[in-house]
Structure 1
């Protein structure tokens, strides 16, 4: 017959071999122990392999309504040194003592003080050994002095070895369960990153997944990326997770701290960055000390009641950083195991963030490409024909050669270019040639005519606007500078830009940053600026109509286009070019030009320059019937050629002023279109200018819409 001791050992062996659940296992162990060794309280401490740290693994109390509150930190690993356990480690055998025996050396040790108040008279400490290695201690406490014999102590020593195995097995099973939970969580986060493409839902999904393995009250992500203004840059965003995952985000925003200027805030961020670069957990007094040192942590300490924080860097690299932050009201909320768990999940969280930013970049690029497509389609539908067809680079005269040289010199750079020249000399074509010959040619050349829009709309065109920024702003609009990011922007008629917008343009040229109308987010644009004007900007600066600082920013590399009257040697090749192209487009035979007409064309001053030449030839091609082009029959036109007889008259005629020539030219276009200004059959299309610009010129020259009636 087995003895009672042998029966107890057999029962414990069987329990250890078959039971895997911690609470059930130790309920059996404590129940069996109480059959032989009556006790009121039981506790098990486990040690690390170096016997430097201890952790309370199990405790149970019997026969009392006032079980002592678990002392702060005992469920975490805490140092053995400085506690009564260090005496047990120094002499690892079955020992019996009273709380009073230890209180003399450890008067502030909370558990024993509580035991004394509960009437505990006796404590038995049993070492836990596995293979001769000390792994912990079993503590049995009772209100009365037990009568333990040497045989009882020997039995307790044997039981200690069995319980040590049970504890080790339980810890191993817990580690397996923890790793399995980590793998499940990793899969959960991976699934989230594959399906969620918006920031806040992704952050909430990650927070919810983490809350399954780590207890916390606030979850935060601080993200910084070089050259970008993040929604989460410069502060951490926290979301209540323990109570309500749908609660709104709250910001740890230093802008709400009175008395802090931008320099102070920058210094504060720089200081806090040192703390956020290494994995760490700060609890209790340690977190309070950090809160006293760092203003941002003091804010969460005071305003949100934060008493512990766990910090895990997700990445640290030259192009930015990302840090995960968990915070809790409980001063001892986080354990080293929690830090290890979150560290194991950082690859998935990093992948989730990278995936999120990739989705965002794709959406940004899609939006930009769509804007570019819309812009280019609109430009094709409303603009005149460009490229070689426009004729600005037809000819071989010295003036044209100088322009081509200047283009070849500056095109490979990102230098700002200012193109000046009279109306119709081909300034936009030069801008296109600059862009096409530059490294930016794969991206769009975005064009804005500063004289074509009312002043109040130019800012929206340049910088864009947010929904609701002004009456009629029913949706967000991307501005030309944002659209031109990575490409070039051509600002035509820059001299017409209002003074208040000149200051904002100067900021873009200097800082490469701007805000949309109605927005607060600072945007960056890497756009090469090409400006053009038919005014003498130096004179405009002297008259106070143009900012001197903006003029010097624009006039880095000037290109001046000569008027056609100074390129008379190029008129003949231009004429041949336009006759060939226009005849083909209009479905007319190619007709010759009489020598006398050619001489008259070369002698004419051409106030409208190449554009005027093209329009005169187009009219001649349309009306001509014989073998030669006929220039007669246009009484309202600025050029009247009636065959050979008309040429000497033209050559001898007095030269009109540019204003008179422009007025006559607009009147001729209005005569042809029946007074229509805009639309497919309007004078603006015929003259190749914006309808708004044409109306402004008509008003300036005293021309009414009704043909032949002057203001």
Structure 2
């Protein structure tokens, strides 16, 4: 009896003074063995509803190598369907043999393992706190212990003491866990305040989290509206061994080299995305069988456990954190709770980084726009560059202005057609300036000005190393025009392969840079222009029909100058005033005969040709009147007479007029097409466009020799 009292006293002192779980239950086990012979001691605790159980403690005596070294001590399993349900139904100190239960519960793995170890006898002691059943103490032995009634009464007294020790330990562990979480949250908040770059910030979060939760892989994956892939890596870190430092996984790494590239799960199972969970053991193996990516990491990296913690689920985006490890029991419910407690901080980190990166993108875009606009001011065509208005009042111009007013306030795609020099760019500028997008830039690209590969780079941009000479990343015109307008001049010259890519931008508003894999988006209004008849180009197979119909939503056709003869005089006055000022010459008058000749001329080069003729006249004139002797190497009146025909004579076709005009320009340049002394500069068209026209009209340079 004295020995019993001493045992109870020692247990009381240990429970009152020792807070460390391992130290406390080492003393409990040692003291109990002095009176009760047993080989293994175990403590199971129950939830408040007595529905689930979990192993709280297990200690061995000569059996350490026969039981898993790292059991999962925090996993609750159902009481129903296990031998424990009989103990709960009638809780008292009892002695049982495994044979009494194995027949009813043949699949109960702990009993199978105990039997394999030669353990055949169990003494079970109910644990109660304030009269409430909270668990069971089990003493397992190879030989049947002979317990007297006094021994059983002693065990009944010990039960409440053990129950108090378990309750205190659980409470202390919860306090310690919450303190660790608070420390972790504080450290992460400090990182949020001090670190602004993506990789250092999330490395700090991963390293802090790893102090509480052991893992080999840390990943944050994000989906945003319009992304082609279901989920894309935002931050990924892994280690080769448990003791190795975390290393960042590169964004362009091979997908098969990801420790836990879980896209397969998210694409095929919404449940796994929306629910916080731990997948381990047979459950993770089942997932590895179903999903190829998980099967890869299962087989090649030995991954056996996955922790999934959704960060948010929104209509326009989703984010999820994943951890993986090689040990099946690496993650416990408390680990999941720890990660979920950090989700608000991680969500804040993501929001801050999204905002910061968006600001940086906007800053870069504004800088690109500024550079573009400065370059445009220095290099853009002179026509309309400083006028900002339309000159004339004829019915053809009024119809054009009406069409502009009708469509300017919308985002509708506009196709401007007309001969070279009719002012298609000026119409595009007016459409943009009168639209809600006027605060952003109008970005221009001449589709005939560059080779196909460079045109694609100009349209969509390129990554560093995408092709020879791509020494840095370049922002494309569509990316630059985001929120503004893009003017695609000479759209009929675009190669067929680029037409397909342009169609995708028009339909889906998405594209990739050359050499890149990231899907980019552009909210740019498209204004296209052509001097070709695109319907004829479609019929000839040189232009995609689907792209034509997508561009030709709202057509605006510009009349040639020969159909706007009433506008020639106001245009002349406008150009004389502007060009005289720019050239530092006096504003001279135009003789009535010359004005009549100018109005009678067919102007195959349209307004641009008129401007150039006037510029030449202003430069060479000396007296009070403009002299047009240099106009096509002949007096204007004589030239007009030469192109005039009797009313009964057959008229030349526009094709013939165009051919004659190009031949005249080539004669003046001795057959030179491009360069400072070339016909292209004289006609103010792109050299490649001129060469295409020459080929179409059957003009060979040899005819000039």
Q: TM-score, normalised by structure 2?
A: 0.83
Q: 1:83 to 1:548 in 2, by over 3 A?
A: closer
Q: For residue 31 of structure 1, what is the aligned residue in structure 2?
A: 30
CA distance in 1, matches of 2:622, 2:181: 88
RMSD: 4.1
Q: Is residue 2:420 matched to residue 1:431? A: no
Q: TM-score, normalised by structure 1?
A: 0.83
CA distance in 1, matches of 2:633, 2:172: 98
User: How big is the shift at 1:402?
Assistant: 0.4
Gaps of 5+ in 1: 255-264, 642-646
User: How big is the shift at 1:399?
Assistant: 0.7
Q: For residue 246 of structure 1, what is the aligned residue in structure 2?
A: 247
Q: Is residue 2:418 matched to residue 1:418? A: no
Q: 1:216 to 1:208 in 2, by over 3 A?
A: same
Q: 1:66 to 1:358 in 2, by over 3 A?
A: same
User: How big is the shift at 1:175?
Assistant: 1.0
**Which of 449, 464, 469 is the matching residue for 2:461?**
464
Greater displacement, 278-287 / 289-298: 289-298
Q: What do the CA deviations read for 1:373-412 (whole angstroms, capped 9, x no partner)?
A: 3322221111134657457611111010000011111222
Q: For residue 83 of structure 2, what is the aligned residue in structure 1?
A: 84
Secondary structure at 1:276 match in 2: helix
Q: For residue 315 of structure 1, what is the aligned residue in structure 2?
A: 312
CA distance in 2, matches of 1:174, 1:562: 85
User: How big is the shift at 1:434?
Assistant: 1.2
Q: For residue 649 of structure 2, what is the aligned residue in structure 1?
A: none
CA distance in 1, matches of 2:151, 2:28: 17
CA distance in 2, matches of 1:24, 1:496: 83
Secondary structure at 2:427 match in 1: helix
User: How big is the shift at 1:93?
Assistant: 3.0
Q: 1:560 to 1:22 in 2, by over 3 A?
A: same
Gaps of 5+ in 2: 645-651
Matches within 5 A, 1:75-114: 76-103=75-102, 105-106=104-105, 109-112=108-111, 114=113
Q: 1:195 to 1:689 in 2, by over 3 A?
A: farther
Greater displacement, 382-391 / 487-496: 382-391
Q: For residue 488 of structure 1, what is the aligned residue in structure 2?
A: 485
CA distance in 2, matches of 1:65, 1:568: 105
Q: What do the CA deviations read for 1:648-683 (whole angstroms, capped 9, x no partner)?
A: x56544349344445546777x79xxx99767x999
Q: For residue 446 of structure 2, what is the aligned residue in structure 1?
A: 449
Q: For residue 631 of structure 1, what is the aligned residue in structure 2?
A: 627
Q: 1:206 to 1:386 in 2, by over 3 A?
A: farther
Q: For residue 22 of structure 1, what is the aligned residue in structure 2?
A: 21
Conserved? CA contact 1:216–1:241, under 8 Å: no
Q: What do the CA deviations read for 1:252-297 (whole angstroms, capped 9, x no partner)?
A: 669xxxxxxxxxx999965323432222333333344445555555
Q: For residue 184 of structure 2, what is the aligned residue in structure 1?
A: 185
Greater displacement, 347-356 / 510-519: 510-519
Q: Is residue 2:654 matched to residue 1:654? A: no
Q: For residue 563 of structure 1, what is the aligned residue in structure 2?
A: 560
Q: For residue 326 of structure 1, what is the aligned residue in structure 2?
A: 323
CA distance in 1, matches of 2:96, 2:264: 57
Conserved? CA contact 2:41–2:139, under 8 Å: yes
Secondary structure at 2:406 match in 1: helix
User: How big is the shift at 1:169?
Assistant: 1.4
Conserved? CA contact 1:71–1:111, under 8 Å: no
User: How big is the shift at 1:171?
Assistant: 0.8
CA distance in 1, matches of 2:118, 2:420: 105
Secondary structure at 2:599 match in 1: helix
CA distance in 1, matches of 2:6, 2:538: 107
Q: For residue 640 of structure 1, what is the aligned residue in structure 2?
A: 635
User: How big is the shift at 1:488?
Assistant: 2.1
Greater displacement, 533-542 / 196-205: 196-205
Q: Is residue 2:595 matched to residue 1:606? A: no
CA distance in 1, matches of 2:116, 2:448: 90
CA distance in 1, matches of 2:305, 2:576: 82
Conserved? CA contact 1:419–1:427, under 8 Å: yes
Conserved? CA contact 1:268–1:295, under 8 Å: no
Secondary structure at 1:451 match in 2: coil
Question: How many residues in Structure 1 have an aligned counterpart in Structure 2?
Answer: 684
Secondary structure at 2:274 match in 1: coil
Q: Is residue 2:170 matched to residue 1:171? A: yes
Conserved? CA contact 2:72–2:332, under 8 Å: no
CA distance in 1, matches of 2:416, 2:62: 96
CA distance in 2, matches of 1:564, 1:452: 25
Secondary structure at 2:502 match in 1: helix
Secondary structure at 2:369 match in 1: helix
Greater displacement, 245-254 / 91-100: 245-254
Secondary structure at 1:158 match in 2: helix
CA distance in 1, matches of 2:44, 2:590: 110
Q: 1:651 to 1:72 in 2, by over 3 A?
A: closer
CA distance in 2, matches of 1:174, 1:504: 60
Q: For residue 58 of structure 1, what is the aligned residue in structure 2?
A: 57
Q: 1:660 to 1:99 in 2, by over 3 A?
A: closer
Q: For residue 617 of structure 1, what is the aligned residue in structure 2?
A: 614
CA distance in 1, matches of 2:680, 2:358: 40
CA distance in 2, matches of 1:61, 1:710: 106
Q: For residue 582 of structure 1, what is the aligned residue in structure 2?
A: 579
CA distance in 1, matches of 2:512, 2:298: 34
Q: 1:542 to 1:12 in 2, by over 3 A?
A: closer
Q: For residue 365 of structure 2, what is the aligned residue in structure 1?
A: 368
User: How big is the shift at 1:480?
Assistant: 2.4
Q: Is residue 2:350 matched to residue 1:353? A: yes
CA distance in 2, matches of 1:37, 1:605: 120
Conserved? CA contact 1:211–1:241, under 8 Å: no
CA distance in 2, matches of 1:121, 1:409: 93
Conserved? CA contact 1:638–1:664, under 8 Å: no
Secondary structure at 1:630 match in 2: coil
CA distance in 1, matches of 2:108, 2:523: 66
Conserved? CA contact 1:392–1:425, under 8 Å: no
Q: Is residue 2:509 matched to residue 1:516? A: no
Conserved? CA contact 1:448–1:491, under 8 Å: yes
User: How big is the shift at 1:563?
Assistant: 1.9
Q: 1:190 to 1:678 in 2, by over 3 A?
A: farther
CA distance in 2, matches of 1:606, 1:639: 15
Conserved? CA contact 1:42–1:61, under 8 Å: yes
Q: Is residue 2:499 matched to residue 1:502? A: yes
Q: 1:597 to 1:306 in 2, by over 3 A?
A: same
**Which of 406, 410, 420 is the matching residue for 1:409?**
406
CA distance in 2, matches of 1:107, 1:559: 84
CA distance in 1, matches of 2:268, 2:395: 62
CA distance in 1, matches of 2:177, 2:248: 29
Conserved? CA contact 2:230–2:267, under 8 Å: no
CA distance in 1, matches of 2:321, 2:52: 27
Conserved? CA contact 1:287–1:309, under 8 Å: yes
Secondary structure at 1:321 match in 2: strand
Greater displacement, 285-294 / 180-189: 285-294
User: How big is the shift at 1:474?
Assistant: 2.5
Q: 1:390 to 1:51 in 2, by over 3 A?
A: same
User: How big is the shift at 1:494?
Assistant: 2.3
Conserved? CA contact 1:217–1:327, under 8 Å: yes
